[in-house]
Chain A
Amino acid sequence: MTTSRTHIETIASLKAQITALEKKNKLLKKNLEHNKINLKKRQNSLVNQTIEEQHAKLMKYNKELEQFTYVATHDLKSPLANIQGYLDLIEIDLVNPSPDVLDSMKWLKYSVAEARNVISELTNALKARNNKEELLKPINLEDLVEGILSGMRAKILDSKIVFICDFTEINEFMYYPVALRSILQNIISNAIQYSSTVPFPEIKITTNNAVNEVLISVEDNGVGIDLETNESKVFGLFKRIQNDESGSGIGMYIVNKLLENYGGKLLLKSELGKGSIFTVVIPVEKV
Chain B
Amino acid sequence: MKTLSKKIVLLGNEGVGKTSLVKRYVHSIFNDEYLTTIGIKISKKIVVVEDVEVNLMIWDIAGNMMNQTLYNNYLQGAHGVLLVADVLRAETYQNIIKERDTHLSVDFGNTHTFVLLNKSDLLVNQPEVNLADFSYDFLTSAKNGDNVEDVFRCLAEKILSTSRL
Give chain A's interface residues, CB within 8 Å of chain B.
142, 146, 149-150, 153, 156-157, 160-168, 200
Contact (A165, B57) CB under 8 Å given A146-B35, A150-B35: no
Nearest CB of B to A265, in Å: 26
Rounded to whole angstroms, the CA-CA distance of A166 and B7 in the bound complex is 13
Inter-chain contact B40/A163, CB cutoff 8 Å: yes
Inter-chain contact B38/A164, CB cutoff 8 Å: no
Inter-chain contact A168/B43, CB cutoff 8 Å: yes
Q: CB-CB < 8 A to B65: which residues of A? A: 162
Inter-chain contact A150/B40, CB cutoff 8 Å: no
Inter-chain contact A165/B41, CB cutoff 8 Å: yes
What residue in chain A is nearest B57 (Cβ atoms)? A168
Inter-chain contact A153/B38, CB cutoff 8 Å: yes
User: What's the dominant secondary structure at chain A's contact region?
Assistant: mixed
Inter-chain contact A162/B35, CB cutoff 8 Å: no
Rounded to whole angstroms, the CA-CA distance of A28 and B42 in the bound complex is 79
| A/B pair count, beta carbons within 8 Å | 38
What residue in chain B is nearest A152 (Cβ atoms)? B38
Q: CB-CB < 8 A to A150: which residues of B? A: 35, 38
Inter-chain contact A163/B57, CB cutoff 8 Å: no
Rounded to whole angstroms, the CA-CA distance of A62 and B40 in the bound complex is 39
User: What's the dominant secondary structure at chain B's contact region?
Assistant: mixed
Interface flags for B30-49 (1: CB within 8 Å of A; 0: not) read: 00000100111111100000
Interface flags for B130-141 (1: CB within 8 Å of A; 0: not) read: 000000000000
Say which size band chain B's interface belongs to: 10 to 19
Rounded to whole angstroms, the CA-CA distance of A157 and B40 in the bound complex is 13
Q: CB-CB < 8 A to B38: which residues of A? A: 146, 149-150, 153, 156, 163
Rounded to whole angstroms, the CA-CA distance of A163 and B41 in the bound complex is 8
Nearest CB of B to A168, in Å: 4
Q: CB-CB < 8 A to B4: which residues of A? A: none
Q: CB-CB < 8 A to A160: which residues of B? A: 68, 70
Q: CB-CB < 8 A to A165: which residues of B? A: 39-42
Nearest CB of B to A280, in Å: 19
Nearest CB of A to B70, in Å: 6
Inter-chain contact A166/B42, CB cutoff 8 Å: yes
Rounded to whole angstroms, the CA-CA distance of A162 and B44 in the bound complex is 20
Q: CB-CB < 8 A to B40: which residues of A? A: 162-165
Nearest CB of A to B36, in Å: 8
Nearest CB of B to A8, in Å: 105
Nearest CB of B to A161, in Å: 8
Q: 10 other contacts beyond A150-B38, A161-B39, A164-B40, with CB at 8 A cut-off? A: A157-B64, A160-B70, A162-B39, A162-B40, A163-B38, A165-B39, A165-B40, A165-B41, A168-B42, A200-B73
Q: CB-CB < 8 A to B41: which residues of A? A: 142, 165-166
Closest 3 CB pairs between A and B? A163-B39, A168-B44, A166-B42
Rounded to whole angstroms, the CA-CA distance of A142 and B57 in the bound complex is 16
Nearest CB of B to A147, in Å: 9
Inter-chain contact B70/A164, CB cutoff 8 Å: no
Inter-chain contact B70/A162, CB cutoff 8 Å: yes
Please, could you name 8 A-B residue pairs with CB atoms under 8 Å apart, sorted by A?
A: A149-B39, A157-B64, A162-B74, A164-B42, A164-B74, A165-B39, A166-B41, A168-B43
